[in-house]
Structure 1
Amino acid sequence: MPSSAQPSVISGSTVLITGAARGMGELYARQAAARGASALVLWDVDKQGAEALAEELRSSATRVQVVSEDLSSLTGVRRGAELIRSQTGVPHVIINNAGIVRGAPFWDHDQERDVSTTININALAPMWLTREFINDMIADASREYRILNIASAAGTLANPGMSVYASSKWALIGWSDSLRLELVKHGHDHVKVTTFCPSYVSTGMFEGARGPLLTPIMTPKYAAKAAWNGMVRGTPIVAKPWTVKLAMALRGVLPTALWDYVADNVFHVYSSMDKFTGHGK
């Protein structure tokens, strides 16, 4: 992943990744170690999986800390952040990658298991975790800092079967890009925020979902590379594939009824979750 900014951003940095034990989170962790990060924090509820990855990455001379506190709880996030601060220090890169999806009509969602947990993990946890460290990042203008928030194309367009998931990602996108603008406005240009909005990625999270017209299911490697490169460069928004931006533009200019027809009958967006199974019940 060539970039002239790469060494100064990653080499010698402490990189914190949530949802780090597998999928795209694992790819970010491996990339950080390969690029010379001095320390990694792997935050995942799957402590065994995170420990196994940590053991492997330690062989690259990178210090690795594992955190398995509950991201859906503010108390858990604060407890995890305190562990990081005391054992590893303030991260230079935060990758808010952890997420869950529940695919069903809204009325079939359980209030606690589906609604609250999805909103807490997908939208609130990135805010809570970033808030724990943002003032330290702002105070140190001697180096570059990065925040990468993994959102979704679902946060840019309404789609049946994704009401709660989509709302969590809409919130994440709104917060993430607003934070970027606040940092710019107040002169904290050394802290850059990137929001990643991918369509479906074949991590198993969206098993059974079908990509809309001209929108292939992306491999984790392809998606993670696009997000990583955008983060290193400080690109504000990274949307993949190109049809994500096309759909956003069409939704913005077409009347709602016409867009609904195009999305449903031409691009087949509205039926993309009809056979969704996810990781299994």
Structure 2
Amino acid sequence: MVGAARAVGPVVDTAPVVAGARVLVTGAAQGMGALFARRAAQEGARAIALWDVDDEAAMRLAAELSRSGTAVHAVGVDLSRYEEIGVAAARSREQIGDPDIVINNAGIVRGIPFWEHDPVQDIERTMRINALAPMWLTREVLPAMRQDRSRPKRLLNIASAAGTLANPGMSVYAASKWAMIGWSDSLRLELERSDHGHLAVTTFCPSFVSTGMFEGARGPRLTPIMSPEEAVEKAWAGMLAGRLLVTAPWSVKAAMAARGVLPTRAWDLLAGGFLRIHSSMDRFSGHPGA
């Protein structure tokens, strides 16, 4: 069990974050999303909304988690479509009320050279799901989260180490995660400047996680592939504490620091050689049929 992370930044309400809270998770039917939902139920969430394009899988998980006594509702939604997000938000609002915790977890990846990407099915869809959907959803729920100061509020945005370092074979995915990191941290600053200390924004940047999404990818040297359970534990602890940025494993932050001080060509030699970052996607296959 990972200990609670130390809060950094503005003082945040110390009342219980999850117990009695209404939680919304995207990409909730499997992988890390399902683990986030299970964790919310275990810690006494009042109600949970499971958003996923696979509504049947989300309904099965909702039925399972409901047996614990938590009200759990599945919502089928294609996050690449703005209009569906508005409809899903209204439906969740009717089912569980305005969320206290929102976990922007859903994401997709295509691990091919940029020139092989289909402009719509790959480039546009990746940007919509990974970068625009979290903004669209957050814009829907943010007014109520800002106004209600009766309990701590949380936004947990699942980004990626790919959003901090360029890597061959994941140009569009990296672009989407760079966008999420920039938006997430800017939103955090805006909330702090407008005296919304009850609403903390946490950005989680993990390296490879063994959910199947990155099947075939090889972890860089000194960077083991994490289990979904380990990744969720670290993100969850950071979210509870209201930490601004959570990276995992330790080598992600070390690589960010090295990239920041080394000349570009020197970093390219280090990342492409000893660290093996630039060859990590060479055998990527991803989910079968994805």
Which structure 2 residues correspond to residues 32-43 of structure 1 after superposition, within 5 A?
A: 32-43=40-51
Instruction: Trace 1:201-280 onto structure 2 (pairs within 5 A).
Output: 201-280=209-288
SS at the partner of 1:10?
A: coil
AA aligned opposite 2:144: D
Q: Does 1:15 align with 2:27?
A: no
Report the Cα offset of residue 147 of structure 1.
0.3
- Aligned partners of 1:152 and 1:199 also within 8 Å: yes
8 Å CA contact retained: 2:151, 2:198:
yes
Is the partner of 2:190 in helix, strand or coil?
A: helix
Alignment gaps of 5+ in structure 1: none
Q: Does 2:132 correspond to 1:150?
A: no
Moved over 3 A (4+): 1-7
Q: Which has the higher contact order (CA 8 A, sep 6+)?
A: 2
Aligned counterpart, 1:72 = 80
Counterpart CA distance in 1 for 2:96 and 2:249 is: 36
Identical residues among aligned pairs (%): 59
Q: Is the 8 A contact 1:19 1:44 kept in 2?
A: yes
SS of the counterpart of 1:70?
A: coil
SS of equivalent to 1:266? coil
CA distance in 1, matches of 2:95, 2:231: 31
TM-score (norm 2): 0.95
For 1:137-157, what per-residue CA distance to the aligned partner results, in whole angstroms no more than 9, with x for missing partners?
Answer: 111122110000000000000
Cα offset for 1:185? 0.8
> Which residue identity does 1:76 align to in structure 2?
E
- Deviation digits for residues 60-80 of structure 1 (CA, Å, limit 9, x no counterpart): 110011111211011011110
Deviation of 1:212 (Å): 0.5
The equivalent of 1:55 in structure 2 is 63
Distance in 2 between the 1:3 and 1:224 partners?
13
Measure the CA separation in 1 of the matches of 2:15 and 2:37: 16
> Unaligned stretches of 5+ in structure 2?
6-12
Q: Once the two structures are superposed, what CA deviation does each residue of 1:194-247 show, in whole Å capped at 9, x if it has no partner?
A: 000000000000000000010000000000000011001101000000110111
Within 5 A, what are the aligned runs for 1:149-228?
149-228=157-236
CA RMSD of aligned residues (A): 1.3
Name the count of aligned residue pairs.
281
* C-alpha separation in 1, matches of 2:30 and 2:82: 23
Q: Distance in 2 between matches of 1:98 and 1:140?
A: 26
- The two structures have a TM-score, normalised by structure 1, of 0.98
Q: What is the CA–CA distance in structure 1 between the aligned matches of 2:4 and 2:132, rounded to whole Å?
A: 31
Q: CA deviation at 1:87?
A: 2.1
Q: Does the alignment pair 1:127 with 2:158?
A: no
CA distance in structure 2 between the aligned counterparts of 1:199 and 1:44, rounded to whole angstroms: 23
